[in-house]
Amino acid sequence: MLGIMIKDCYESFFIKKNLIGMIISSLCLIAILILMKSIYSMILIVVVAFPMIGISILQYSMEQDEISKYDKILLTFPITKEQIVQAKFISTILFTLFVQLCLSLPIVCLFTGVYHVTSVQNSFFIWMLGFILSFIMNSLTSIGFFWLGSKKGTVVYMIFVITFSFAYIILHFAFTVDYLLSLPMYVIIIIGSILAIILNIISYLICVSIYKRKHS
């Protein structure tokens, strides 16, 4: 399992085209941080953009697996199909945690401690909301990638991204930030966390079933 995770990590971060894409994305993020110092920018980055990143490690690795026909080789290894799916899920979870703890959290601290766009309590709520949405997004899009493969799964992923972005635009114009932050945040966090855990368990079971059926 560890070997699969290391391979997925290499394919996601060290293949030239993926590396170039991440550098461009990082430069865009830096530009936003320098030029747009508002709570709307923080929400856009933390709640909308970052929750869409975690699943990229699965998409990149599956793309390379399909190109190299690596799945056929992988099935000859002394590991079960459940362990193969587990490795993919663990890689996605670890990368999502990295994004949330090493990128999202420092950016929230920047907007709160340096730019002073909102209170610490509100910042914590925004960060937790992004954290929860990341895992909900992972659970839904993982099924698409395991079911349809990298190319068609990316289409499903883009549908979720567009839907997610559209929902953000609607909320942005329909409600003020003050109204959204006045909602019972701890209730939302608890319910959202439970939902994220349940969805990820269901997603894992569905992906195992799909993988077994494809490689039976």
pLDDT in tens, 124-152: 999 999 999 999 999 999 999 999 888 88
Q: Are 113 and 35 in contact (CB under 8 A)?
A: no
What would the two tokens of residue 12 be? 């996601």
Q: Rounding to the nearest 10 degrees, give the CA dihedral for residues 189, 190, 195, 196.
A: 60
CA angle 18, 162, 164 (to 5 degrees): 105
Q: What is the pLDDT of residues 3-40, one digit of tens each?
A: 788 888 877 777 777 778 788 888 888 888 888 888 88
List the beta strands (DSSP E) in the chain.
Answer: none
The amino acid at residue 207 is C
pTM of the model: 0.90
State the total domains in the chain. 1
- What is the pLDDT, as a whole number, of residue 173? 75
CA angle 193, 85, 147 (to 5 degrees): 90
- Residue predicted with more confidence, 183 or 96: 96
Q: What is the pLDDT of residues 174-194, one digit of tens each?
A: 777 777 777 788 899 999 999
What would the two tokens of residue 87 be? 């490795």
Domain that holds residue 201: 2-214
What would the two tokens of residue 41 be? 């920018």
Q: How far apart are CA 102 and CA 172, in angstroms?
A: 27
Q: How far apart are CA 198 and CA 150, in angstroms?
A: 24
Q: Are 62 and 147 in contact (CB under 8 A)?
A: no
- Give Cβ neighbours of residue 26 (< 8 Å, ≥ 6 apart): none
